[in-house]
Amino acid sequence: MKTNQKLLLMLVVLFSLTSCKKYEDGPFIDFHSKTERVANSWKISQATDNGNNITSDYNKYDLNLLKNGTASLVANYKFLGVDYELTTDGTWTFLDDNEKLSFDFDNNDADGIYKILRLKEDEMWLKKDAGTLELHFVNQ
């Protein structure tokens, strides 16, 4: 009987832990709320589009997100061969059961919805919804 109880306990623990991982690339478990992890000052560490490394197109991309849902962006980047330089304020919100982030900036060029691939206190990976652009952020 004790063997069955141990097996049942192990299965419950295993099921509980595997359900903690919400995002494709982790983390496996985190004790900080999603809002606490998103609220940070972020910079681009890597950018890819359709698997191609385009990090050099992001000369500057400083994204500041606050717990109250406000956002600011200072960016110099190239997208589809066009150079963009902007400073804008706006808001961010979670969508789809906290699996996506939506950005609504005063400058609509910076708006977008991104699937969250990874969300840690010091690392956030986002993929443009219905697109191929993937941005990896680290905190500043």
* Residue 46 and residue 136 in contact, taking contact as beta carbons nearer than 8 Å: yes
What whole-number distance in Å separates Cα of residue 133 and Cα of residue 90? 21
pLDDT at 7: 57
Question: Would the CA dihedral through 5, 11, 15, 16 be positive or negative?
Answer: positive
For 24-73, the pLDDT digits (tens) are 545 445 456 889 999 999 999 999 999 999 999 988 999 999 999 999 99
Question: C-alpha distances in angstroms, 7 versus 4, 14, 15, 75, 129?
Answer: 5, 10, 12, 53, 41
pTM for the model stands at 0.77
CA distances from 36 to 16, 65, 78 (A): 22, 10, 30
How confident is the model over 64-85, as a mean pLDDT? 92
User: How much is the pLDDT for 75?
Assistant: 93
- pLDDT digits 0-9 by tens, 96-128: 999 999 999 999 989 999 999 999 999 999 999
